[in-house]
Chain A
Amino acid sequence: MDYGHPLRFGLALTDHAAVARARLAEDLGLDVVAVTDPRTGEAGPEGAGVLEPWTLLAWVAGTTERIGLAAHLIEHPDRSAAVFARAAASLDLLSGGRLETGLAARHAPALAEAVEVVRALWDTGEPGPAHVDGEHHALRGAQRGPAPAHEVALWLGADHADADDDALLELVAEHADGWWSATSRPDELAARNAAIDVAARAAGRDPREVRRLVVLTAPDTVAERVDAVPVGSEPVASEPVDTESVDPVAIERIDADAWRHELVALALEHGVSTFLLDTDDDDLVRVFAQRVVPAVREAVASARAAAGVVVGVPAPRRLREQRREGIDYGAVPAGLDAIEPGHARYGDVRSNYLRGGRPGIVLLPRDSGEVAAALGFARAQDVPLGVRSGGHGISGRSTNDGGVVIDLSRLDDVEILDPASRLVRVGAGARWARVAAVLEPHGLAVTSGDSGGVGVGGLATAGGIGWYARKHGLTIDRVRAVDLVLADGTAVRASASENPELFWGMRGAGGNLGAATSFEIEAHPAQPLGFAQLVFDASDVAGFLERWGAVVETSPRDVTSFLVMGRPRAGQPVVAQVMVAVDSSDPRTVIEHLNPFAQVAPLLDQAVQIMPYRSIIVPAGGPHRGEGEPVSRSSLVRHMSPEVAAAAERVIMTGATFFFQVRSVGGAVSDVPPDETAYAHRAAGFSLTAMGVSRGSLDPRWDELHQHADGLYLSFETDPRPERLLDAFPPPTLARLRGLKDHYDPDDVFSANFAVGSARTGHLA
């Protein structure tokens, strides 16, 4: 019985020479090294005079680069399954996803509980703490995580050959990714494989979900045994071998032909796909790696080709059960990294900053070719599509429920193309914190938003209102070219001279027209700049807003200011936090520009620093873990007029918002003609945003304020009502965008975020 699993060969490490032997294994091109508990006859992690296996494995991970790492440790009361789960995930993260791990049973029921604990803690895609009600291993509301870096295969087996009883084999059949066989005797393998296969089918699993592993000992006994067992495979051709590194005596001593025959038989007759050699003889290791393994691979490959066996490991039942309707998981293009519900990394990619998501599959292309492949796959599925760069977008439209998400985070190169013209190329999946960090040593920056966790692609196609807005304009105003993949998979470049109309649309409505993969941006010179955080008593809310707005508008363009107010608290003054960026490293100039702000209202607290741009933007942080649906509204206004300020006061004082923010725009942003980009609201001086708990409480209040608005900034808007589209894109802009849409995306593939609809139908998607 050949299950068609890829073959892997490695070493079981046992003693003090393990470290050197692991490196030898890596140098010889073997696939994996494994540690096990010392064979002292004592159960569990106790054992004298030898190295503690997990410590050894972590050390080996640190002293190797490539080779796979495996542990097979005995389940034991002194070995907390919960701590083991975190340790295993940690080693996978530290080693760059090289771990697979296993537990050996003293007692099947205890092992079953340990497995449940391990899987529960790894499953960070599930919200809330983990509970496992076990007698031997339990979790009572434990935090999940860390998730491993990749799908860590869990091998289960017996702690000695006689313990492969029915209960254990059933457990293997139901829960294991691999069976760590305690025997390599063909007759025992055959019987136990059969038992596993029967139990696997009974549990709704494909027996091929369970890989099979044996530990091999010295080959002279192997040779004896091979005589007793008929081998049904083709004779193995002799391989040329680098004999210089092998002791000739060792070659003579070892009957390599017989050994090859036995391994081929184990693979083809008994479905064994992972072979671990347990030896302290380095010559034997060399013979194994150089004379035996290549020949076995070749013989098995040709036998499989002849028999039409497809090589691979099917997705396990626990993943298949979580798959979503309408997605053909088998059709994911080969080589494209894909994360499904239940995968270790799903918790890191399913949600956005503020919005929870449960996509059916997340694709992580590495280049524009893979983006095209991902788009081709997505178009063939009858589910929603989201394209995500950083996933920070307030509306969170780049994730979904049951759909496809194309996550561009791997396209994250940041490169200076030409220091003289300050031209930089930035991948769509890079985050602005890294862009700032890479550019700072060169005395450069690109104005972005206020958070370093925001991705380049979303911001650089929508607008980008940041700390240099009044001086250097929007982020899109610095973009000189965009490379993107169109809905039909074509990679194109848009700039003033290439596809200029598309270039126009990509700056302000890019999410409608294609998947941007990289941007050429003209950075601006940057020096450490003054950054003030001022806290005001803003009890006179409307008056405060008006006065602040007036100071902003009369300040030079070196000054950009943002303002944040929360929900008023009973019995406390209404407080406003004002941040002011002053593009100067001279403290006197900074203070001079700050002075007018200090007059706006009673100052409760202040902090002023000269700091680099990268330190001003909020650090990127870890993966997004948003839950639920965010509620936010946006308005762009010309001035903080008495009408706007009064309406804002009503929004704030009714408690309809818990986060109200104003960002100064104007300045250089207003130098750009409205028809120069698809972001048309060039006359606006201020961008107002509010986040609320519910549409019902926020919308009526905000609608009043919005009467005084010229439009909205689509990145901060979650209102689904169709009239918002015209707020985002005034009629001339919308008409042009629909023309582009009909040309570049006639099937409306990119429809998740402020879909412009078609010029042919006038239909709002």
Chain B
Amino acid sequence: MADYGHELEFGSFITPTAGDAANVVRLAQVSERAGLDLATFQDHPYQGRFLDTWTLLSFVAARTERIRVAANVHNLPLRPPAVLARSAASLDLLSGGRVELGLGSGAFWDAIEAMGGRRFRPGQAVDALAEAIDVIRAVWDTEAAERLVVDGEYYSLDGAKRGPAPAHDIQIWVGAYKPRMLRLIARQADGWLPSLGYAKSDQELADSNARIDDAAAEAGRDPREIRRLLNIGTLPGGLQDWAERLAGLALEHGFATFIVGSDDDDVLTAFGEEVAPTVREIVARERG
């Protein structure tokens, strides 16, 4: 499978430096002015030098007009899913549907434990993430008539009220690399969000996509239901080289969202104003 035909989106990945909070917000506004679709922030709640990501997303959403916000990605072991679901739905309502949900199963277990969180083995973390997605979707599902009961090994709800329902269908994107997680994405998620820097080769990205596609088909889902997103850094060469590389990743590997990690006004502006339109143009031309 090559191109899934998703509309292209472009975003920023901004360091949530606590010591320069005003600048973090400003960089999100720079992203919006540059025409980017998304402003995203890492979530490492054990990190004392960073702003709390949920608080930051809420504040940034209030100080912007159009751009969507998301964590890239939430640390689930320190973000109880029912609270996260209500928080995300609340912000989605407040912001007019500008919130998406990036989830990760957690890493840095020593640091999570240091915060009073629970340490999971790798397999447990995957299971917990699967349960968490069920919890989140169940909380959002205010149409359902039956009692909200989740009897999970990691997360349980027994008759909690549902809601609020978000303003739009909040996308659940999962950052992951391992086969079990990819299968989970195929079954439960709306998007796969890896980082280009972690992939050894384009072939590895293609293999992972194929794994998701196969598992999605097995679960009775169309692989196109799963958006492929990619965290990238600034790429070598000029802006044209950069755009051509991204267009290649879109056309050959189906990536449709590109999120650049940078805290530099010039890079964010060039990415939004020059790279993104060029990628869109190339991809539109090739798609015909």
A553 and B58 alpha carbons, distance in the complex (Å): 58
Out of B20, B45, B51, B95, which one reaches A83, CB within 8 Å? B45
Tell me, yes or no, whether A14 is within 8 Å of chain B by CB: no
Tell me, yes or no, whether A40 is within 8 Å of chain B by CB: yes
Known contacts A42-B160, A51-B93, A52-B83, A94 near B55 by CB under 8 Å: yes
In the bound complex, do residue B116 and residue A90 qualify as a contact, i.e. CB atoms below 8 Å apart? no
Tell me, yes or no, whether A79 is within 8 Å of chain B by CB: yes
List of A residues within 8 angstroms of B94 by Cβ: 19, 51, 55-56, 59
Known contacts A58-B55, A63-B62, A80-B115, A46 near B82 by CB under 8 Å: yes
List of A residues within 8 angstroms of B116 by Cβ: 80-82, 117, 134, 137-140, 142
B117: nearest chain-A partner, CB-CB: A80
List of B residues within 8 angstroms of A63 by Cβ: 62
Interface residues of B in 1-41 (CB under 8 A from A): 17-22, 25
B110: nearest chain-A partner, CB-CB: A141
Instruction: Tell me how far the C-beta of A510 lies from the nearest C-beta in chain B, rounded to whole angstroms.
Output: 29
In the bound complex, do residue B161 and residue A94 qualify as a contact, i.e. CB atoms below 8 Å apart? no
List of B residues within 8 angstroms of A145 by Cβ: 18, 48-49
In the bound complex, do residue B90 and residue A56 qualify as a contact, i.e. CB atoms below 8 Å apart? yes
Known contacts A48-B161, A48-B163, A145-B18, A139 near B61 by CB under 8 Å: no
Kindly name the residue among B63, B95, B116 whose own CB sees the greatest number of chain A CB atoms within 10 A.
B116
A124 and B18 alpha carbons, distance in the complex (Å): 13
A61 and B59 alpha carbons, distance in the complex (Å): 7
List of B residues within 8 angstroms of A78 by Cβ: 80, 82-83
Instruction: Tell me how far the C-beta of B79 lies from the nearest C-beta in chain A, rounded to whole angstroms.
Output: 8
In the bound complex, do residue B78 and residue A55 qualify as a contact, i.e. CB atoms below 8 Å apart? no
Known contacts A80-B115, A94-B21, A59 near B55 by CB under 8 Å: no
In the bound complex, do residue B19 and residue A46 qualify as a contact, i.e. CB atoms below 8 Å apart? no
Tell me, yes or no, whether B187 is within 8 Å of chain A by CB: no
A59 and B164 alpha carbons, distance in the complex (Å): 16
Known contacts A45-B83, A82-B45, A59 near B61 by CB under 8 Å: yes
Out of A46, A141, A146, which one reaches B18, CB within 8 Å? A146
In the bound complex, do residue B164 and residue A58 qualify as a contact, i.e. CB atoms below 8 Å apart? no
B85: nearest chain-A partner, CB-CB: A52
Chain A: interface residue count, which band? 35 or more
Tell me, yes or no, whether B66 is within 8 Å of chain A by CB: no
In the bound complex, do residue A93 and residue B86 qualify as a contact, i.e. CB atoms below 8 Å apart? no
Interface residues of A in 131-173 (CB under 8 A from B): 134, 137-146
Tell me, yes or no, whether B114 is within 8 Å of chain A by CB: yes
Known contacts A52-B90, A59-B61, A59-B62, A129 near B54 by CB under 8 Å: no
Kindly name the residue among A52, A54, A121 whose own CB sees the greatest number of chain B CB atoms within 10 A.
A52
List of A residues within 8 angstroms of B90 by Cβ: 51-52, 55-56
Tell me, yes or no, whether B52 is within 8 Å of chain A by CB: yes
Out of A49, A90, A129, A144, which one reaches B55, CB within 8 Å? A90
B115: nearest chain-A partner, CB-CB: A82
In the bound complex, do residue B19 and residue A124 qualify as a contact, i.e. CB atoms below 8 Å apart? no
B78: nearest chain-A partner, CB-CB: A83
A623: nearest chain-B partner, CB-CB: B19
In the bound complex, do residue A83 and residue B114 qualify as a contact, i.e. CB atoms below 8 Å apart? no
Known contacts A56-B94, A58-B59, A80-B117, A49 near B161 by CB under 8 Å: yes
Please, what's the 1-or-0 string for B58-73, where 1 marks a CB less than 8 Å from any CB in chain A? 1111110000000000
A87 and B79 alpha carbons, distance in the complex (Å): 12
List of A residues within 8 angstroms of B111 by Cβ: 142-143
Known contacts A62-B62, A146-B50, A140 near B113 by CB under 8 Å: yes
List of A residues within 8 angstroms of B79 by Cβ: 83
Instruction: Tell me how far the C-beta of B239 lies from the nearest C-beta in chain A, rounded to whole angstroms.
Output: 18
Tell me, yes or no, whether A91 is within 8 Å of chain B by CB: yes
Known contacts A49-B164, A59-B62, A83-B78, A139 near B114 by CB under 8 Å: yes
List of B residues within 8 angstroms of A623 by Cβ: 19
Known contacts A94-B55, A124-B48, A142-B115, A80 near B21 by CB under 8 Å: no
Tell me, yes or no, whether B56 is within 8 Å of chain A by CB: yes
A172 and B273 alpha carbons, distance in the complex (Å): 54
Tell me, yes or no, whether B251 is within 8 Å of chain A by CB: no
Tell me, yes or no, whether A250 is within 8 Å of chain B by CB: no
In the bound complex, do residue A61 and residue B62 qualify as a contact, i.e. CB atoms below 8 Å apart? yes
Number of chain B residues whose Cβ lies closer than 8 Å to a Cβ of chain A: 49
Tell me, yes or no, whether A89 is within 8 Å of chain B by CB: yes
In the bound complex, do residue B58 and residue A62 qualify as a contact, i.e. CB atoms below 8 Å apart? yes
List of A residues within 8 angstroms of B163 by Cβ: 48-49
A93 and B25 alpha carbons, distance in the complex (Å): 11
Tell me, yes or no, whether B46 is within 8 Å of chain A by CB: yes
Tell me, yes or no, whether A650 is within 8 Å of chain B by CB: no
A78 and B117 alpha carbons, distance in the complex (Å): 11
Known contacts A52-B83, A142-B114, A90 near B93 by CB under 8 Å: no
Instruction: Tell me how far the C-beta of A109 lies from the nearest C-beta in chain B, rounded to whole angstroms.
Output: 15
A79 and B50 alpha carbons, distance in the complex (Å): 19
Instruction: Tell me how far the C-beta of A136 lies from the nearest C-beta in chain B, rounded to whole angstroms.
Output: 9
Please, what's the 1-or-0 string for A88-104, where 1 marks a CB less than 8 Å from any CB in chain B? 01110111000000000
Kindly name the residue among A19, A89, A137, A146 whose own CB sees the greatest number of chain B CB atoms within 10 A.
A146
Tell me, yes or no, whether A50 is within 8 Å of chain B by CB: yes
In the bound complex, do residue A93 and residue B21 qualify as a contact, i.e. CB atoms below 8 Å apart? yes
In the bound complex, do residue B51 and residue A90 qualify as a contact, i.e. CB atoms below 8 Å apart? yes
Instruction: Tell me how far the C-beta of B204 lies from the nearest C-beta in chain A, rounded to whole angstroms.
Output: 30
Interface residues of B in 132-157 (CB under 8 A from A): 142
Tell me, yes or no, whether A324 is within 8 Å of chain B by CB: no
A146 and B51 alpha carbons, distance in the complex (Å): 7
Tell me, yes or no, whether A525 is within 8 Å of chain B by CB: no
Known contacts A45-B86, A124-B48, A622-B19, A141 near B62 by CB under 8 Å: no
Tell me, yes or no, whether A47 is within 8 Å of chain B by CB: yes
Known contacts A48-B164, A81-B116, A58 near B45 by CB under 8 Å: no
Tell me, yes or no, whether A323 is within 8 Å of chain B by CB: no
B64: nearest chain-A partner, CB-CB: A62
A137 and B60 alpha carbons, distance in the complex (Å): 29
List of B residues within 8 angstroms of A87 by Cβ: 52, 54-55
Out of A62, A83, A144, which one reaches B59, CB within 8 Å? A62
Interface residues of A in 605-631 (CB under 8 A from B): 622-623
Tell me, yes or no, whether B47 is within 8 Å of chain A by CB: yes
In the bound complex, do residue A90 and residue B48 qualify as a contact, i.e. CB atoms below 8 Å apart? no
Kindly name the residue among A49, A87, A142 whose own CB sees the greatest number of chain B CB atoms within 10 A.
A142
- Report, nearest first, the 3 A-B pairs whose CB atoms are least far apart: A62-B62, A48-B161, A145-B48
* Complex A-B: 6 CB contacts under 8 Å: A82-B45, A93-B21, A121-B48, A139-B116, A143-B49, A146-B49
Residues on B facing A (Cβ under 8 Å): 17-22, 25, 45-52, 54-56, 58-63, 78-80, 82-83, 86-87, 89-91, 93-95, 111, 113-117, 142, 160-164
Assuming A83-B78, A86-B51, A90-B21, what are 19 further A-B pairs, CB within 8 angstroms?
A: A47-B161, A48-B162, A52-B87, A54-B87, A59-B91, A63-B62, A78-B80, A78-B82, A79-B83, A80-B117, A81-B116, A82-B115, A86-B52, A87-B52, A87-B55, A90-B51, A93-B21, A622-B19, A622-B20
